[in-house]
């Protein structure tokens, strides 16, 4: 029955037509192989530089299917069945790989919280980690983790696991943006080319601020540090300019939309039809949702490469977290589309901004309203152009206003918080410690 549904799927003509098929999303492939990842097929993976979103030729896909999608059909069917039974359980399974959840341990307590953000039943999903025995002699400070496009709070797994809570005076809040992850997935009320981008931004900002207000974070904004990645950083930068006093520091992690890439460095341009799909929000997530029992197998084309480094761990925890991260990624990719439909409002096909924030926010000092300090972090092998963040950081220093710094994470690509979580966590802990002095 499921196979018949796939054969009759409305996306099948797209799979048969044209010389290209699937969008290629940015990733980093390391040398070696994913040994033990699955009892099925996993081929060698070659080192290459991460690239912006593009398209993969159909002929290349057909010849490379076993290597591109290493999850077996049997495993994919099992994941589909588990998702249908209870998708929230796939999030719980991932987070239960942490040593302090669901049972407190090592001085840390954690819980999953769903906070209402409007009067229509919508909520923001959050995983919060706090000291089991808080330091009563100092105010509690808050580290807020905001993911990027298509992602979810679970991608911060190694940061949640390893980050220290200062002197028992820090709480970590990892959130799913509205319409992402396991936050509520309401119907996205906007359409590209009909509605202005400012309305879409306001939709996100109002819900994020409602979450902060409900959590009591706006009462002590001087104790709030936001760490935002990619599209989440893009949205948060705009938020900081709209609500200048809501947090004290913003850490911009490989932010999207800061500047346009150098056209001389682009090897090719996406085909015209791929640009149409981009603007109409037909993405790899659309394919996963319509692949039914094969959705997890399609997801493995990204997740096995993205999280494959966990298999190099000498402990069994790495293999467990790898498997749980894949199933979690499949679960959030397979949930109804909502917040992801922001993409064409913010970025053009290929990843360049519609309007670069370097020009929109940081062009004139009297237009810049944000009062928080800034830290710009990029991977040293990032596909996002780091020179934009470096220029903005230098400009903020010249304005003599908020402090700003720039840093590169070694051996990391766009997902720097995961690729080199040791250095990334060390930088965050150093920033946190400054507030304890």
Domains of the chain as residue ranges with CATH: 89-261+340-436 (3.40.50.1820)
**H helix runs in 308-415, sequence order:** 316-334, 343-346, 357-360, 386-399
**In whole angstroms, how far apart are CA 296 and each of 53, 244, 250?**
21, 42, 35
CA angle 98/147/405 to nearest 5° reads: 105
C-alpha–C-alpha distance, residues 390 and 394, integer Å: 6
pTM for the model stands at 0.87
Pair 424, 159: CB distance under 8 Å:
yes
C-alpha–C-alpha distance, residues 424 and 253, integer Å: 10
Q: Which residues contact 392 (CB under 8 A, 6 or more apart)?
A: 258, 357, 358, 362, 374, 376, 404
Q: According to the 3-state scheme, what is the secondary structure of 131-191?
A: ECCCCCCCCCEEEEEECCCCCCHHHHHHHHHHCCCCCCCEEEEEECCCCCCCCCCCCCCCC
Backbone angles phi, psi at 216, to 5 degrees: 80, 15
Whether residue 102 is preceded by a cis peptide bond, meaning omega within 30 degrees of 0, is yes
- Round the average pLDDT of the chain to a whole number and report it: 88
pLDDT digits (tens, 9 = 90+) for 191-233: 999 999 999 999 999 999 999 999 999 999 999 999 999 999 9
Q: For residue 391, what pLDDT is reported?
A: 96
pLDDT digits (tens, 9 = 90+) for 252-291: 999 999 999 877 666 677 888 889 999 998 888 999 999 9
Q: For residue 364, what pLDDT is reported?
A: 78
Q: For residue 437, what pLDDT is reported?
A: 64
- Tracing tokens 């905001």 back to the chain, one arrives at 146
Pair 137, 436: CB distance under 8 Å:
no
Residues annotated as catalytic are: 230, 382, 414
C-alpha–C-alpha distance, residues 421 and 431, integer Å: 15
Q: For residue 398, what pLDDT is reported?
A: 92
Q: For residue 329, what pLDDT is reported?
A: 98
Q: For residue 62, what pLDDT is reported?
A: 55
Spans of the chain, pLDDT less than 70: 1-66, 264-267, 437
Pair 296, 75: CB distance under 8 Å:
yes
Backbone angles phi, psi at 51, to 5 degrees: -125, 160
Token pair recorded at residue 220: 């002590």
Q: For residue 383, what pLDDT is reported?
A: 93
Q: For residue 239, what pLDDT is reported?
A: 98
Q: For residue 265, what pLDDT is reported?
A: 63
């Amino acid at each position: 029955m499921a196979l018949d549904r796939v054969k009759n799927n409305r996306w099948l003509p797209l799979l048969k037509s044209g010389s290209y098929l699937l969008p290629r999303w940015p990733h980093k492939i390391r040398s070696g192989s994913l040994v033990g990842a699955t009892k099925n097929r996993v081929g060698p993976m070659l080192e290459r530089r991460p690239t912006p979103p593009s398209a993969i030729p159909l002929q290349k896909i057909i010849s490379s299917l076993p290597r591109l999608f290493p999850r077996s059909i049997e495993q994919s069917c099992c994941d589909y069945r588990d998702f249908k039974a209870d998708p929230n359980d796939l999030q719980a399974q991932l987070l239960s790989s942490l040593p302090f959840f669901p049972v407190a341990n090592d001085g840390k307590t954690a819980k999953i919280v769903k906070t209402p953000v409007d009067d229509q039943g919508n909520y923001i999903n959050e995983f919060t980690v706090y000291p089991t025995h808080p330091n009563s002699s100092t105010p509690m400070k808050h580290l807020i983790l905001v993911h990027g496009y298509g992602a979810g709070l679970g991608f911060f797994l190694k940061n949640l696991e390893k980050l220290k809570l200062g002197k028992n005076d820090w709480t970590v809040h990892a959130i799913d943006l509205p319409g992402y992850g396991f936050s509520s997935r309401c119907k996205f009320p906007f359409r590209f080319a009909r509605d202005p981008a400012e309305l879409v931004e306001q939709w996100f900002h109002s819900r994020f601020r409602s979450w902060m207000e409900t959590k009591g974070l706006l009462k002590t904004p001087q104790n709030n540090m936001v760490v935002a990645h990619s599209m989440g950083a893009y949205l948060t930068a705009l938020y900081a300019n709209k609500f200048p006093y809501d947090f004290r520091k913003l850490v911009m992690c490989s932010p999207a939309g800061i500047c346009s890439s150098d056209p001389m460095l682009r090897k090719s341009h996406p085909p015209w039809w791929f640009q149409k799909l981009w603007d109409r929000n037909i993405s790899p997530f659309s394919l996963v949702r319509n692949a039914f029992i094969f959705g997890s197998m399609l997801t493995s084309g990204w997740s096995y490469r993205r999280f494959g480094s966990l298999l190099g761990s000498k402990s069994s925890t790495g293999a467990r977290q790898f498997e749980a991260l894949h199933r979690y990624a499949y679960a959030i990719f397979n949930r109804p589309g909502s917040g992801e439909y922001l993409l064409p409002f913010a970025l053009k096909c290929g990843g360049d901004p519609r309007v670069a924030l370097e020009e929109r926010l940081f062009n004139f000092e009297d237009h810049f309203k944000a009062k928080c300090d800034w830290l710009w972090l990029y991977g040293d092998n990032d596909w996002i152009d780091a020179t934009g963040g470096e220029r903005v950081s230098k400009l903020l220093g010249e304005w003599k206003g908020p402090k700003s710094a720039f840093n590169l994470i070694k051996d990391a690509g766009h997902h720097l918080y995961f690729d080199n979580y040791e250095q990334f966590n060390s930088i965050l802990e150093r920033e946190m410690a400054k507030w304890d002095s």
